[in-house]
Amino acid sequence: MAKINFGGVEETVITRNEFPLSKAQEILKNETITIVGYGVQGPAQALNMKDNGIDVIIGQSPDFKSDWDRAIADGWVPGKTLFPIEEAAKKGTIIQYLVSDAAQRAVWPALKECLNEGDALYFSHGFSITYKKQTGVIPPSNIDVILCAPKGSGTSVRRNFLAGTGINSSYAVFQDYTGKAEQRTLALGIAIGSGYLFPTTFENEVYSDLTGERGVLMGALAGIMDAQYQVLRKNGHSPSEAFNETVEELTQSLIRLVDENGMDWMYANCSATAQRGALDWRPKFKEATLPVFNELYSKVKSGEECSRVLSSTGAADYKEQLGKELKELRESEIWATGAQVRKLRPGK
């Protein structure tokens, strides 16, 4: 474990130097990893572990034909490495519970009957355990309950793995029955290709994750883009100009500079006019949005956001309603413009 100073705060992280893949392979050599759910995180984590020499099988309901067929297309073989959920769960010693949060509540009564003493129940999100009063996911006391949460989508987890880099992941132990829960967790984190691992709790993972998704990562980002685009269009700018100044320059240029060396470096490598304006307006945006973030975090911590997720995603017509919302977003002028802009990029 390495001690790293993050902005004046010392934290412990685990890198591949302290915990090489060979150590992970040794810890997991007698384990069978069952991936329950071949939707978002399942394919990436399963394929990464398979490529790293870990014994992996898939548990996926054949009723969800698209996910079942995707597993087959990825090389998993029905009856050998691909099974219905309960059959796969009974074969595994580490059960990676990677179906959606709403599905975890629905599948849990059947899954818990498949767990044996000494098994490990693995999550990539603290949702079901943190909000157990609402989800009903209460693990038996004779298993390990662990978490490894990549800080990126399944697509990015796989893409970065293939590029030789990796997505950073948080990890936590909720219940250590065997005395080896932490070692199992770290081994799995390395096996799925994490860039580095940092400790958290199930509660902190879900509080930060839900806040981030609704905030900067997705909700706030999209909302701010909509607002700036609307102002530019209202003042006579063309769709192409408004989109390029709102989205294209961010995604194709500026955010890459931030990624390379940080926000100050990005400022330093922009024009003096851009620097001065950004530095002046940054505190104004912080002041305007801080109350919204405080409200958001409060609702996440209270469980209000959990209730919203479970009630909406559990509705019979959820996929239909989601399709309508995404269609509206896709066909809005800003993102219809974006589709055309992407087609005009060199090489497309």
- DSSP assignment of 241-298: HHHIIIIIHIIIIIHHHHHHH-HHHHHHTS-HHHHHHHHHHHHHHHHHHHHHHHHHHH
CB 33 within 8 A of CB 56: yes
| pLDDT per position as a tens digit, 50-92 | 999 999 999 999 999 999 999 999 999 999 999 999 999 999 9
Residues 66 and 181 occupy one common structural domain? yes
Residues 59 and 172 occupy one common structural domain? yes
Residues 95 and 12 occupy one common structural domain? yes
Residues 170 and 283 occupy one common structural domain? no
Q: Does 209 map to a domain?
A: no
| Cα gap 310→313, rounded to integer Å | 5
Residues 226 and 161 occupy one common structural domain? no
Interacting residues of 321 by C-beta distance below 8 A, sequence separation 6+: 312, 315
Residues 172 and 71 occupy one common structural domain? yes
Number of structural domains the chain divides into:
2
Range of the domain at 97: 2-200
Residues 25 and 133 occupy one common structural domain? yes
Interacting residues of 246 by C-beta distance below 8 A, sequence separation 6+: 225, 228, 229, 232, 334
| Cα gap 172→184, rounded to integer Å | 11
The pLDDT of 29-35, averaged and rounded, is 97
Query: Positive or negative, the Cα torsion across 313, 74, 69, 88?
Result: negative
| Cα gap 335→226, rounded to integer Å | 10
CA–CA distances in Å: residue 340 to residues 226, 323, 348: 17, 21, 11
Residues 184 and 261 occupy one common structural domain? no
Q: What is the reported pLDDT for 12?
A: 87
Whether this model's pTM surpasses 0.85: yes
Residue 207's pLDDT band (cuts 50, 70, 90) = very high
| pLDDT per position as a tens digit, 284-337 | 999 999 999 999 999 999 999 999 999 998 888 999 999 999 999 999 999 999
Where are the extended beta strands (E) located within 66-166? 82-83, 94-97, 120-123, 144-150
| Cα gap 100→41, rounded to integer Å | 9
CATH number at residue 138: 3.40.50.720
Q: Taking 80 as the threshold, does the pLDDT of residue 348 lie above it?
A: no
Residues 175 and 264 occupy one common structural domain? no
Residues 195 and 60 occupy one common structural domain? yes
- Residues taking part in catalysis: 125
Place of tokens 């059960």: 95
Residue 200's pLDDT band (cuts 50, 70, 90) = very high
Average pLDDT along the chain: 95
CB 28 within 8 A of CB 50: no
